[in-house]
Structure 1
Amino acid sequence: MSPSSFHRRFRAATSATPLQFRKTLRLQTARTLLWTRSESVAEIAHRVGYESTSPCNREYRKMSGTSPGRDTPRRGSYEQV
């Protein structure tokens, strides 16, 4: 199968390009790890495949409307006194 055919079929099946789909999976996995692990945001960014924390932070903020550091039960805004 040619690359263009693969992209066309992938997009028809998922409503996303392969890169968009991969990014969404990474960010969903990062969010799950933020809520279930006690690792730092940097460790989780590397775990899900980002070489640097800043792209992960930027894309996470676009997806969820908040930074990954504030979107956790242990560091969320509701813990502030």
Structure 2
Amino acid sequence: MAWLRDNFSQQIKIADLADLVHMSVSSFHEHFKSATSMSPLQYQKALRLHEARRLLAAGELDTVTVYRLVGYVSHSQFSRDYSRFFGNPPSRDIARLRKPTYRLD
């Protein structure tokens, strides 16, 4: 998991990750899923999308730059994944996150 967190934008092969921890692919997949409730690729996707959301919310980078930085090669795939994961497309989600909230105390 630490390797994925540090290298989430890189293309990965499950066999390479299994080799890193000296496991068979099936054993690695089983242990990973029991620890995270996700497959390694789902975990990587979640890391990418959370980082993209953080970068977009900061407001310093445009969507194209962000999706490339986090490892996506296709804007349409990024938008589809983002919408499925967060419930809204990037532009709508970020606008909602940036909207000031007011408290009536």
| Residue identity (%) | 43
Q: For 1:31 and 1:19, how far apart are their aligned partners in 2? A: 18
What is the correspondence of 1:1-81 to structure 2 with a 5 Å cutoff?
1-72=23-94, 76=95
Tell me by how many angstroms 1:37 deviates.
Answer: 3.5
Q: Which one has a bigger Cα radius of gyration?
A: 2
Which of 1 and 2 has higher RCO (CA within 8 Å, sep 6+)?
Answer: 2
Give the alignment's TM-score, normalised by structure 2.
0.67
Q: For 1:42 and 1:54, how far apart are their aligned partners in 2? A: 11
Aligned Cα root-mean-square deviation (Å): 1.6
Number of aligned positions between the proteins: 76
* Structure 1: segments with no counterpart, 5+ residues: none
* Structure 2: segments with no counterpart, 5+ residues: 1-22, 100-105
